[in-house]
């Protein structure tokens, strides 16, 4: 495990911040843009820190302020060509607006590097925590035009549910985003989003995330990966806290008014053994899998001489399942024997007369595999093909503090590999169905190979791909993969990115995993980031009405008016306030 010294996160080309934002602009492309993309938009989320001047401070890939980078595909008329338009915007969270309107020089929240570093003392963690508390209190005092009510940076993923595009991060509720401009609307509390009309379609008795009480803010912390049922439109979420019962569960129907009996908010999930670093969960249309892993996220760990985020190898991994038998659940998992992420298959036997044991658990392939995704209409169902990322130069380990270089995109026929695994009676835990390394799979190039790999050209690195189905498709893999690509031969000898560096959006045939059907040249570099999604033309057209948007210039203007409209007392207070902000960094 490598921890950062002198903020290597912001010094590497992998994640070097890019602070420029771009309004929608048309850009050239080569190849043929599929007609299925007409009117839709591909959007990717990433952590992109507002400021990073202090290279002596801890920093982590996951600390950065959320920034959305999107490409919309417009058509002026039915006979016109499809025109790609690039736009990127910071997500205007409370933390972002506070940083941009104060003299605070470094991130308000403690860095994840501080929380996971075994060399961090209890004193260091407490200082970082009390600094955050001080700045939150200061944001509530006169002179602040942006109170810090929520501590999420909204930098993890994006999704669509019930007329809302939402950006997520597990340290707060989702943030609504307007498409295709990527402007920030406001926090979504499970009933309505800030900026929407007060007259909501929701029932008058609907409760928001968190409910009431002194710790309600914790119970609105929402997973970065909510699941949306493509059939019913229901959204499944969980909320993770430091206090028993630790995990709460919510289900939001597509329309709260039409199906109020299906609405659940903050229902406790019993049986979780402690405060956990719980990033994701599994769900099908009839089952939900909660992972109770021995990776704790508990501020009280510092009193035990442990990191706030600590792994305990003496405790078992436990899976909680709501109903019945989950007989198909492939996920990525870390293997202690091989120290890398693989696509793993679990089969849980939860029959009434069983002992709730894991019936099968083995890797489908030996190659590194991360960022798994499936065709959108196969989510929460049995999907045959799983797409993801791999690397030919290293493995996806516990790469804390940096991003991994993705030079391979992988398509796995999970159904075929699972059948092979059952037939060969693969060894539990350490078993692996296909043990071929990446080099062997690339060399063989079999037509009926259950593993297909697309290799990028030298010095080119991709990001997470997302699947867009072909119109009237008959096969599950009929469609395209969209992903950002950066050519690192543009880097300077020092490793820095010049202002002229640019990324591209590639469109790959998802069936043959060979043909790049189009490349869109973007006006700037898109920093390597996390998760994205595809918003269809129908998604964009069916967004709920918005009354107001968050606006940085408006917040800055109000601050200026407040200072200049209150005489010498206000000016003196602001001088003192700025000194306090600079003193705490």
| Residue 102 φ then ψ, to 5° | -135, 180
Rounded CA separation 196/186 (Å): 8
Q: How far, rounded to the nearest angstrom, does the alpha carbon of residue 560 sit from its chain's CA centroid?
A: 35
Token digits for 501? 């560096």
Q: What is the DSSP string of 346-414?
A: EEEE--TTS--EEEEEEEEESS--EEEE--GGGTTS--SEEEEEE-SSS-----TTS---B-EEEEEEH
Token digits for 219? 């119970």
Token digits for 456? 């990028």
CA nearest to 103, candidates 59, 135, 56, 66: 135
Q: Where are the domains of the chain?
A: 323-455
Per-residue confidence (pLDDT) for residue 185, from 0 to 100: 98
Token digits for 497? 């990115």
Rounded CA separation 438/76 (Å): 44
**β-strands 460-462, 82-90 pairing:** unpaired
The terminus-to-terminus CA distance of the chain in angstroms comes to: 28
52 is in an annotated binding site: no
Beta bridge partners of 319: 291
Per-residue confidence (pLDDT) for residue 352, from 0 to 100: 62
Query: Rg of the Cα trace of the chain?
Result: 24
Strands (E) across 193-337 are located at: 227-228, 235-240, 247-252, 264-268, 282-283, 288-292, 295-297, 309-311, 318-321, 329-335
Beta bridge partners of 41: 72, 535
Per-residue confidence (pLDDT) for residue 19, from 0 to 100: 60
CA torsion 187-192-197-199 (nearest 10°) is -160
- For residues 344 and 370, the answer to whether their CB atoms sit within 8 Å is no
262 is in an annotated binding site: no
- For residues 448 and 547, the answer to whether their CB atoms sit within 8 Å is no
Rounded CA separation 5/14 (Å): 16
**Longest Cα pair distance anywhere in the chain, in angstroms?**
81
Token digits for 369? 């595999």
Beta bridge partners of 272: none
- For residues 259 and 315, the answer to whether their CB atoms sit within 8 Å is no
Beta bridge partners of 453: 410
**Any residues with CB less than 8 A from the CB of 228 and at least 6 apart, and which?**
159, 160, 161, 234, 235, 236, 379, 380
**β-strands 264-268, 282-283 pairing:** unpaired
Token digits for 532? 């994205």
Per-residue confidence (pLDDT) for residue 400, from 0 to 100: 44
Rounded CA separation 466/374 (Å): 8
Per-residue confidence (pLDDT) for residue 446, from 0 to 100: 85
What's the pTM?
A: 0.90
Per-residue confidence (pLDDT) for residue 334, from 0 to 100: 43
Digitized pLDDT (tens) for each residue of the chain, 585 residues in all: 232 333 444 444 445 555 666 666 677 899 999 999 999 999 999 988 886 555 556 777 778 899 999 999 998 777 778 999 999 999 999 999 999 999 888 888 888 888 888 777 888 888 888 999 999 999 999 988 889 999 999 999 999 999 999 999 999 999 999 999 999 999 999 999 999 987 655 555 788 998 887 888 888 999 999 999 999 999 999 999 888 889 999 999 987 555 556 788 999 988 888 888 888 888 888 888 888 888 888 888 887 878 888 888 888 888 887 653 334 444 444 444 446 688 999 888 767 666 677 788 899 999 999 999 999 999 998 999 999 999 987 666 544 445 568 999 999 999 999 999 999 988 888 889 999 999 999 998 888 899 999 999 999 999 999 999 999 889 999 999 999 999 999 999 988 889 999 999 999 999 999 999 999 999 999 988 889 999 999 999 999 999 999 999 999 999 888 988 888 989 999 999 999 999 987
Per-residue confidence (pLDDT) for residue 17, from 0 to 100: 57
Per-residue confidence (pLDDT) for residue 256, from 0 to 100: 53
- For residues 149 and 95, the answer to whether their CB atoms sit within 8 Å is no
**β-strands 357-365, 432-434 pairing:** parallel
27 is in an annotated binding site: no
Alpha helix ranges (H) inside 122-183: 122-138
Q: How far, rounded to the nearest angstrom, does the alpha carbon of residue 151 sit from its chain's CA centroid?
A: 16
């Amino acid at each position: 495990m490598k921890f950062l010294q002198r903020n290597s996160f912001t010094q590497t080309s992998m994640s070097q911040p890019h602070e420029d934002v771009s309004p929608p602009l048309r850009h050239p492309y080569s190849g043929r843009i599929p007609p299925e993309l007409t009117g839709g938009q591909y959007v990717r989320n990433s952590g992109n820190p507002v400021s990073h001047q202090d290279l002596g401070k801890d920093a982590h890939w996951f600390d950065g302020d959320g920034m959305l980078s999107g490409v919309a595909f417009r058509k002026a008329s039915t006979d016109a060509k499809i025109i790609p338009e690039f736009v990127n915007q910071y997500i205007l969270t409370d933390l972002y607006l506070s940083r941009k309107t104060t003299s605070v020089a470094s991130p308000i929240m403690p860095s994840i590097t501080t929380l996971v570093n075994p060399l961090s003392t209890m004193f260091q963690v407490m200082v970082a925590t009390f600094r955050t508390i001080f700045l939150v209190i200061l944001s509530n005092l006169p002179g602040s035009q942006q109170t810090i009510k929520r501590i999420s940076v909204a930098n993890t993923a994006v999704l669509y549910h019930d007329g809302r595009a939402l950006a997520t991060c597990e340290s707060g509720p989702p943030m609504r985003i307007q498409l295709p401009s990527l402007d920030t609307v406001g926090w979504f509390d499970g009933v309505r989003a800030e900026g929407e009309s007060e007259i909501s379609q929701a029932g008058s008795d609907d409760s928001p995330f968190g409910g009431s009480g002194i710790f309600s803010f914790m119970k609105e912390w929402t997973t970065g990966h909510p699941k949306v049922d493509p059939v019913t439109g229901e959204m499944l979420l969980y909320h993770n806290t430091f206090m028993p019962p630790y995990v709460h569960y919510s289900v939001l129907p597509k329309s709260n008014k039409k199906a109020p009996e299906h609405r659940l908010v903050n229902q406790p999930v019993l049986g979780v053994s402690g405060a956990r670093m719980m990033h994701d969960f599994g769900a099908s249309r009839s089952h939900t899998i909660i992972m109770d892993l021995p990776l704790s996220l508990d501020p009280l760990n510092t009193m035990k001489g442990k990191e706030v985020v600590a792994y305990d190898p003496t405790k078992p991994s436990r899976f909680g399942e709501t109903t019945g038998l989950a007989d198909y659940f492939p996920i990525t998992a870390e293997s202690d024997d091989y120290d890398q992420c693989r696509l793993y298959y679990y089969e849980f036997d939860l029959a009434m007369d069983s002992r709730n044991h894991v019936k099968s658990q083995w890797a489908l392939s030996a190659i590194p595999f991360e960022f798994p995704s499936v065709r959108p209409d196969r989510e929460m169902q049995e999907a045959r093909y799983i797409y993801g990322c791999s690397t030919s130069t290293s493995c996806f380990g516990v790469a804390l503090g940096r991003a991994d270089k993705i030079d391979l995109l992988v398509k796995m026929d999970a159904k075929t590999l699972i059948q092979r695994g059952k037939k060969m009676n693969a060894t539990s835990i350490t078993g692996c169905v296909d043990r071929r390394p990446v080099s062997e799979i690339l060399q063989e190039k079999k037509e009926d190979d259950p593993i297909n790999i697309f290799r990028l050209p030298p010095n080119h690195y991709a990001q997470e791909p997302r699947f867009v189905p072909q119109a009237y498709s008959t096969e599950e893999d009929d469609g395209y993969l969209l992903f950002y690509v950066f050519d690192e031969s543009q880097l300077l000898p020092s490793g820095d990115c010049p202002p002229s560096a640019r990324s591209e959006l590639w469109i790959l045939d998802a069936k043959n995993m060979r043909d790049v059907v189009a490349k869109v040249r973007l006006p700037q570099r898109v920093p390597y980031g996390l998760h994205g999604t595809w918003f269809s033309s129908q998604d964009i057209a069916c967004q709920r009405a918005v009354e107001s948007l968050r606006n940085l210039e408006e917040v800055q203007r109000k601050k200026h008016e407040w200072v200049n409209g209150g005489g010498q007392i206000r000016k003196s207070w602001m001088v003192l306030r700025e000194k306090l902000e600079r003193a705490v960094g």
